[in-house]
């Protein structure tokens, strides 16, 4: 025979109890009335969810059946009913008709071990744990103590579930248990779980309270110190805040950056002056104001002067210098950095970086060099979020800040040496930086505002063409070949001898060296495409001559024989080291 089911949202009732029920929704009132017309029996079942009206799947497949002892109708239509529960039943074939739930029921037997010593010990343990928990959780433990002493076990179990506000799923598991001992074991687990949770909450609350007290004490002391300083006419923090506001107002910030700066300044004023957050915001504002937002030093491009600068500093390389002058001519005509970004590719020592420095001088612009060798983190370009410890702007923003101009020549040195790992792809950020259509609104993660990089002239250098296709597409590759012997002789005569003399303290008029002697060094002591090793050998030759002349740079002619005499010691020293190392190994 099917029995009517009265769903409850958060109530699990055990058998052997007299349960008062207040009902005010139409569906439940109809369920009570239908049961009264029939067997006057009713199943009280809990719901999985709080849906109303409930559906079949919302009801647990277990409940407590009981007899309706009394029904009292209220003037507003609500019902007070008293139900005496008798058994735990499993529910099968639950159906709903016109909002009324019915199901076939089968009684679930429960072993009566309420008088066993182990069961009584479990009941007393639960009561003790709740007693210890009552002070912090403010349970009404007096009622529970009275139930323990004077009422049967079903009333105790029901009282624990209601007092400790045990979850519905856990309460249903207690209802399913096959004996009172099993029910009490499950209850003890839930009570202990509540106790451990309460300990964690108390620990967190104490820690928060201590931090709040420490922060309140620090704030009070700082406020007193500020009041004392104000009375003495020395309110340093207020002066710093006022000075920062004036700096923001006077700085030529764009609208977005000014709004961001004022927002951060208001936050800084609301924080304690000595707090970590206040110091971080002040550092951020200093970095923001240090950027060259509107500093564009005037630089008139003179092609004749640019040609003289390149010819004076670089021998040979005529085709490359002509290409550079073409680029400068376009810049003069358009008044911008239009055109492809130049990328000089060549072996070490052929003059790529020095050529970039010469371009900056020819344009009359500031010069900054950024080495990209080994960079594998995108934040090197985009900066770190200012919430991170030790955060700072990216290297592009840092270069602009150091040169105090927003139109410098920035050399991206060794662009072929960049890496890539789990921290990000630096090439993606570099592609945005090098694209004139995108770098007008470049956003550094630390500054959090857009900066216009379109005035910056970027030049890249690389030792090889081991570059991605995307990078090659953004740049015009200019290969710088290795120097011929005659080029090296010319470079040495015009530049390297003078540089070696400056490095060693020689007067250039005391150095007599002809082209044949320079060729002798190139053929016998160097084997490179560039001139770095030639520079080292010339410097070593002058150092050795100083040693022979007791530190004096007397007039000396460096013939091939003299050069061999001076450099032989250096050459033999290198050989002996290698031999000694090999024998030692």
pLDDT confidence bin for 538, thresholds 50/70/90: very high
pLDDT of residue 579: 33
pLDDT above 70: residue 362: yes
The whole-number average pLDDT for the span 406-419 is 86
pLDDT above 50: residue 73: yes
pLDDT of residue 455: 86
Adjacent-strand bridge partners of 164: none
Cα–Cα dist 558/525, whole Å? 15
Adjacent-strand bridge partners of 350: none
Adjacent-strand bridge partners of 314: none
pLDDT above 50: residue 358: yes
Q: How many C-beta atoms surround the C-beta of residue 316 within 10 A? A: 16
pLDDT above 80: residue 219: no
Q: Could you give the percent of the chain with pLDDT greater than 90?
A: 4
Nearest to 354 by CA among 493, 499, 461, 464: 461
pLDDT above 80: residue 270: no
Nearest to 475 by CA among 331, 327, 341, 330: 341
pLDDT of residue 15: 87
- The CA-to-CA distance between both ends of the chain, in Å, stands at 98
pLDDT above 50: residue 578: no
Question: Which residues have CB under 8 Å from 150's CB, separation 6+?
Answer: none
Q: How many C-beta atoms surround the C-beta of residue 498 within 10 A? A: 15
Nearest to 67 by CA among 103, 123, 21, 9: 21
Top-ranked range on mean pLDDT: pick from 150-164, 369-383, 511-525 = 511-525
Q: What is the pLDDT of residues 430-449, one digit of tens each?
A: 888 888 778 888 888 888 89
pLDDT of residue 233: 55
Nearest to 218 by CA among 276, 264, 265, 266: 276
pLDDT above 80: residue 239: no
Mean pLDDT (the chain, rounded): 82
pLDDT of residue 539: 92
Cα–Cα dist 450/453, whole Å? 9
pLDDT above 80: residue 36: yes
Number of H helices, E strands in the chain: 21, 15
pLDDT of residue 314: 81
Cα–Cα dist 12/166, whole Å? 10
pLDDT above 70: residue 350: yes
Q: 82-86, 179-183, 234-238, 490-494 — which is least confidently predicted?
A: 234-238
The whole-number average pLDDT for the span 199-208 is 81
Cα–Cα dist 163/166, whole Å? 8
Q: What is the pLDDT of residues 290-348, one digit of tens each?
A: 888 887 776 778 888 888 888 888 877 788 888 888 888 888 888 777 667 889 998 88
Q: Where are the alpha helices (DSSP H) in 435-483?
A: 469-474
Q: What is the pLDDT of residues 117-135, one digit of tens each?
A: 888 888 888 888 877 777 6
pLDDT of residue 215: 66
pLDDT of residue 140: 59
pLDDT confidence bin for 583, thresholds 50/70/90: very low
The whole-number average pLDDT for the span 212-225 is 71
Cα–Cα dist 174/274, whole Å? 56
The whole-number average pLDDT for the span 546-568 is 87
Phi/psi at 119 (nearest 5 deg)?
Answer: -65, -45
Q: Could you give the C-alpha distances from 44 to 50, 91, 311, in angstroms and in order?
A: 15, 11, 100
pLDDT confidence bin for 576, thresholds 50/70/90: very low
pLDDT of residue 53: 67
pLDDT of residue 580: 37
The whole-number average pLDDT for the span 337-365 is 84
Q: 99-113, 296-310, 496-510, 535-549 — which is least confidently predicted?
A: 296-310
pLDDT confidence bin for 500, thresholds 50/70/90: very high
Nearest to 544 by CA among 525, 521, 565: 565
Top-ranked range on mean pLDDT: pick from 324-338, 490-504, 570-584 = 490-504
The whole-number average pLDDT for the span 518-528 is 87
pLDDT above 50: residue 585: no
pLDDT of residue 421: 64
pLDDT above 70: residue 422: no
Instruction: Give a three-class secondary structure readout of 74-121.
Output: CCCCCEEEEEEEEEEEEEEEEEEECCEEEEEEEEECCECCCCCHHHHH
**Hey, what are 255's tokens?**
């609208």
């Amino acid at each position: 025979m099917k029995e009517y089911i009265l769903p409850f949202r958060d109530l699990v009732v055990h058998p052997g109890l007299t349960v008062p029920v207040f009902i005010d929704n139409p569906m439940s009132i109809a369920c009570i009335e239908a049961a009264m017309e029939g067997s006057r029996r009713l199943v009280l079942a809990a719901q999985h969810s709080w849906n109303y009206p409930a559906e079949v799947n919302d009801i647990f497949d277990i409940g407590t059946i009981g007899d309706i002892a009394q029904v009292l109708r209220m003037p507003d239509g609500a019902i007070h009913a008293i139900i005496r529960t008798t058994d735990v039943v499993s529910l099968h074939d639950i159906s709903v008709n016109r909002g009324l739930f019915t199901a076939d029921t089968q009684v679930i037997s429960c072993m009566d071990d309420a008088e066993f010593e182990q069961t009584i010990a479990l009941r007393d343990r639960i009561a003790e744990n709740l007693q210890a928990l009552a002070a912090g959780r403010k349970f009404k433990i007096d009622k529970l103590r009275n139930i323990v002493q004077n009422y049967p076990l079903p009333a105790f179990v029901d009282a624990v579930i209601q007092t400790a506000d045990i979850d519905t799923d856990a309460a249903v598991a207690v209802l399913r248990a096959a004996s009172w001992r099993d029910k009490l074991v499950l209850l003890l687990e839930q009570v202990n779980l509540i106790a451990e949770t309460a300990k964690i909450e108390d620990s967190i609350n104490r820690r928060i309270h201590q931090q709040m007290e420490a922060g309140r004490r620090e704030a009070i002391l700082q406020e007193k110190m500020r009041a004392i300083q104000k009375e003495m006419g020395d309110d340093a923090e207020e002066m710093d805040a006022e000075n920062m506001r004036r700096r923001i107002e006077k700085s030529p910030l764009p609208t977005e950056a000014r709004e961001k700066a004022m927002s951060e300044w208001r936050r800084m004023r609301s924080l304690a002056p000595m707090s970590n957050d206040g110091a971080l915001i002040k550092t951020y504002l200093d970095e923001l104001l240090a950027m060259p937002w509107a500093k564009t030093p005037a630089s008139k491009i003179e092609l004749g002067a640019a040609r003289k600068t390149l010819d004076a500093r670089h021998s040979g390389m005529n085709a490359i210098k002509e290409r550079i002058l073409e680029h400068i001519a376009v810049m003069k005509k358009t008044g911008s950095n239009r055109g492809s970004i130049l990328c000089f590719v060549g072996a070490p020592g052929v003059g790529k970086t020095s050529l970039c420095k010469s371009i900056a001088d020819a344009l009359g612009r500031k010069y900054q060099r950024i080495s990209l060798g080994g960079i594998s983190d995108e934040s090197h370009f985009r900066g770190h979020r200012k919430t991170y410890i030790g955060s700072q702007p990216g290297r592009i923003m840092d270069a602009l800040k150091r040169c105090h101009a927003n139109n410098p020549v920035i050399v991206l040195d060794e662009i072929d040496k960049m890496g890539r790992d789990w921290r990000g792809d630096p090439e993606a950020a570099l592609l945005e930086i090098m694209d004139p259509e995108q770098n007008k609104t470049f956003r550094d993660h630390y500054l959090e505002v857009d900066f216009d990089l379109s005035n910056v002239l970027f030049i890249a250098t690389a030792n090889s063409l081991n570059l991605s296709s995307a990078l090659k597409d953004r740049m015009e590759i200019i290969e710088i070949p290795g120097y011929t012997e005659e080029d090296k002789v010319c470079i040495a005569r015009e530049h390297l001898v003078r540089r070696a003399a400056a490095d060693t303290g020689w007067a250039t008029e005391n150095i007599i060296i002809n082209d044949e002697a320079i060729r002798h060094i190139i053929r016998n002591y160097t084997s490179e495409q560039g001139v770095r090793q030639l520079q080292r050998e010339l410097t070593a030759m002058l150092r050795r001559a100083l040693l022979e002349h007791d530190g004096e740079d007397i007039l000396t002619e460096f013939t091939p024989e003299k050069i061999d005499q001076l450099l032989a010691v250096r050459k033999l020293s290198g050989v002996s080291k290698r031999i000694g190392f090999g024998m030692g190994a």
